[in-house]
A = this chain, B = another copy of it.
Amino acid sequence: MSKKQMKLGLSMRYMGYHVGSWRHPDVPADGASLFQSFLEVAQTAERAKFDMLFLADGIGVRLDDKPKGSMCRSRHNVELEPLTLLSALAPLTRNIGLVATASTTYNEPYHIARKYGSLDQISGGRAAWNVVTSWSDQEAWNFSMSKQLDYDTRYERAHEFVEVVTGLWDSWDEDAFLLDKESGVFYDEKKMHVLDHVGKHFSVRGPLSVRRSPQGRPILVQAGVSEPGQQIAAEYCDIVFMAKNDLKSAQDYYSSVKDRLEHFGRKKSDLLMMLGLTPIVGRTREEAQEKYEQLEALIDPIVGLSMLYRSFGDLSHLPMDGPVPKPDLDKVGLKSSAQMYYDLAQKQGLTIRQLYKKIGMAQEHKTVVGTAADVVDEMESWFEQGAADGFNITPSLLPHGINDFVELVLPKLRRRGRFRDEYEGRTLRENLGLPVPASRYATTASADRRLAS
């Protein structure tokens, strides 16, 4: 019997998750603004049969100059907007999925449904939306708000937002367009649906001016950890992007999300949990360790402190080699990361310097330093023990991170029967092996036809 295979995504924001990646001698310093650098990475990932390219997002420069002098040293300043970038990559790729992040807090559902719907048409069914609620006041300031909406309102709005977007995506039945030149009838009136949504946050009439997705509807991704985040995932989403450093908490989160699916009439296999993973691979463990240390040296202390600022406030007056103070969770933007960072520091007894060096490598994501065999062992172990259905590779550096992974790790993963040799299908949904959700307007008869076909 063939073994169950993993899913693989590649996250390519800012050309690497390492906070100082741009300073590495082999990395194009302004790579995050260059289409060509993303194109090369995307094509490498597609040649390697990755399931998808992933772009995280924030709508603005989410930094203040805290501590002073840190902002002009950070590369988190300029980049290409994800949906624009993935649209440009669409015609230069054929099979790989295109996952762009967009916030439900600063967008309108009609625009989102329309743009992702269009990308889905252009790419032949490879579009995916990573649904986020955003977490910084800096973003609110770019959208005529003095601070961000409170947490509960953000999630309440997100829930309704996703409801509206998926509704708009059902505007047209797959076979709605008769295109009868002779009689002049363009579409069958019975197969066009006006949403007429009226809710607390939105009133949206529809129909959407984009025809039905080649994959039924675009793939939905979610990354929230909290109760309301998990509920949206379980009700609507195809993928959860998770950041976990220790096996136990990954397993707990994995089960917690999967256990919710039944309530919505879904199977456990209808949603894939993808773990962020940063492999630092060498031909030997020593080489990997050397690479790790070279990367550590690229982290400017002031940039390190600015990473901690979001979770802990300004620590520049504390001894860098002293302990990490408890964060004030009521005041931080990203509660789950702050908690995770503090737990990490406690568990491993890290100083301030040690902590920023750790998270400077790959933010919240799990890092594995070692040989290809070490990386594959770790991946298999988490995969087999119910902690992940696949991995979203979050390389420290690009293009090196993906080149190393493809050259060293993938062949081993394939030899163990854990990753595909060829794409199975045409759309992202087909390649992920996920079911096509029925239209909310589908009659039982037409749903049966679909199942039979």
Chain A residues with CB under 8 Å of chain B are 20, 22-25, 29-30, 33-35, 39, 58-61, 71-75, 77-81, 83-85, 87-92, 106-108, 110-111, 114-115, 117-119, 121-122, 138, 141-146, 172, 177, 179, 181, 184-189, 192, 201-211, 300, 303
Instruction: List residues of chain B with CB within 8 A of the CB of A24.
Output: 181
Q: Could you tell me if B181 and A122 are in contact, using CB atoms closer than 8 angstroms?
A: no
Instruction: List residues of chain B with CB within 8 A of the CB of A122.
Output: 35, 80, 84-85, 88
Known: A20-B184, A60-B110, A88-B91. 13 other contacts (CB 8 A): A23-B184, A29-B186, A33-B121, A39-B91, A58-B209, A59-B114, A77-B207, A78-B172, A81-B118, A88-B88, A91-B91, A138-B205, A142-B204
Q: What are 8 residue pairs bridging A and B, where the CB atoms are less than 8 Å apart in the complex?
A: A25-B181, A35-B122, A77-B207, A78-B209, A80-B122, A83-B87, A88-B91, A138-B205
CA distance A29 to B211 in the complex (A): 13
Q: Could you tell me if B142 and A110 are in contact, using CB atoms closer than 8 angstroms?
A: yes
| Shortest distance from the beta carbon of A394 to any chain B beta carbon, whole Å | 20
Instruction: List residues of chain B with CB within 8 A of the CB of A115.
Output: 81, 83-84
Instruction: List residues of chain B with CB within 8 A of the CB of A89.
Output: 91
Instruction: List residues of chain B with CB within 8 A of the CB of A20.
Output: 184
| Shortest distance from the beta carbon of A225 to any chain B beta carbon, whole Å | 25
Which of A60, A73, A188, A209 has the most C-beta atoms of chain B within 10 angstroms of its own C-beta? A209
Q: This chain: how many copies in the complex?
A: 2
Instruction: List residues of chain B with CB within 8 A of the CB of A210.
Output: 33, 78-81
Q: Could you tell me if A181 and B29 are in contact, using CB atoms closer than 8 angstroms?
A: yes
Instruction: List residues of chain B with CB within 8 A of the CB of A189.
Output: 71-72
Q: Could you tell me if A186 and B73 are in contact, using CB atoms closer than 8 angstroms?
A: yes
Given contacts A144-B202, A186-B74, contact A59 B110 (CB under 8 A): yes
Instruction: List residues of chain B with CB within 8 A of the CB of A114.
Output: 59, 81
Given contacts A87-B88, A108-B143, A115-B84, contact A211 B23 (CB under 8 A): no
Q: Could you tell me if A35 and B181 are in contact, using CB atoms closer than 8 angstroms?
A: no
CA distance A20 to B181 in the complex (A): 9
CA distance A357 to B25 in the complex (A): 65
Q: Which residue of B lies closest to A75 (CB)?
A: B186
Given contacts A90-B88, A141-B205, A204-B144, contact A80 B30 (CB under 8 A): no
Instruction: List residues of chain B with CB within 8 A of the CB of A303.
Output: 184
Q: Could you tell me if B211 and A78 are in contact, using CB atoms closer than 8 angstroms?
A: yes
Q: Could you tell me if A30 and B204 are in contact, using CB atoms closer than 8 angstroms?
A: no
| Shortest distance from the beta carbon of A360 to any chain B beta carbon, whole Å | 12
CA distance A155 to B122 in the complex (A): 33
Which of A23, A172, A189 has the most C-beta atoms of chain B within 10 angstroms of its own C-beta? A23
| Shortest distance from the beta carbon of A177 to any chain B beta carbon, whole Å | 6
Given contacts A88-B91, A122-B88, contact A22 B186 (CB under 8 A): yes
Q: Which residue of B lies closest to A89 (CB)?
A: B91
Given contacts A81-B118, A85-B118, A108-B106, contact A207 B23 (CB under 8 A): no
Q: Which residue of B lies closest to A143 (CB)?
A: B108
